[in-house]
Amino acid sequence: MLHIVNKSHTDRTALASCLRLARDGQALLLTEDGVLAASAATAEASGIAAAAKRLKVYVLAPDAQARGVAERLAAGVTTVDYAGFVDLVAEHSTNQSWL
């Protein structure tokens, strides 16, 4: 399963809910303001640091660049472009957007 979170971990509980229910080995894609949770400075508090040990964590590169975190992502986080986003959706038979 691919989990997609587009809201900041400081604005909504979507990321916390996602991380609580995601199973080991699944994938998480952070987009829009969701990418803020993947910065090295916030990864521990947001739960991404722990999640990267059990999930495949991705961020949408253009969103990370637009928010100034592209160069300071937490360990274990992979960037993808829009084509990579499409590939992730196609690769996973189920997708869950967390609002």
The pLDDT value given to residue 39: 97
pLDDT confidence bin for 19, thresholds 50/70/90 = very high
The pLDDT value given to residue 77: 98
The pLDDT value given to residue 80: 98
Q: Where are the domains of the chain?
A: 2-98
pLDDT confidence bin for 29, thresholds 50/70/90 = very high
Residue 43, CA distances (Å) to 29, 48, 66, 70, 86 in order: 14, 5, 18, 13, 25
**Superfamily per CATH, domain 2-98:** DsrEFH-like (3.40.1260.10)
Distance, in Å, from the CA atom of 74 to the CA atom of 69, rounded to the nearest integer, reads: 10
The pLDDT value given to residue 67: 98
Q: What is the rounded average pLDDT for all residues in the chain?
A: 97
